[in-house]
Amino acid sequence: MLHDHLHEAKIWLEYALADLAIARMPLPEHSKYEMLLFHAQQAVEKSLKAILVLRQIEFPYTHSLYRLVRLIPDEYGGRDLLLASTVLTEYAVLSRYPSEPISVDEEQYHHLLGLAEQVFTWAKQVIASSSETSSY
């Protein structure tokens, strides 16, 4: 049974990695860093959901990273990093529509992208260690 959840968790991580790839792209002409940070937020969201899938923890349909972080068991560590990454929640929706403009400069973009990359790496390590300890 763990094997099925492990496989599904790895699929969630593949999607998170795809979002990270987009978030790392050079800023297209006439675009905004906020658009790239939408994908950074998605990478964090999918990384967190990968861990929840692995642990068979039900999660709500939400873009709130804070709500997802609260569901992550403490045994995995990384709590400070996970909480810091919740700042990306606002890029899930607000950054995509002009009614709620958010302005991000290059320095902020790199900082927030770095948080997303760290959360992805954390989730990848958690899943890798679960893969090593499972017997299938």
Kindly indicate the confidence band of residue 1, based on its pLDDT and cuts at 50, 70 and 90: very low
For residue 121, give the CATH number of its domain.
1.20.120.330
Q: Return d(Cα 128, Cα 26) in angstroms, integer.
A: 30
26-73 tens-digit pLDDT: 988 888 899 899 999 999 999 999 999 999 999 988 999 999 999 999
- Section 113-118 average pLDDT: 98
What's the domain count of the chain? 1
Q: Return d(Cα 110, Cα 99) in angstroms, integer.
A: 24
DSSP state for residue 97 in the 8-state scheme: S
Range of the domain at 61: 2-133
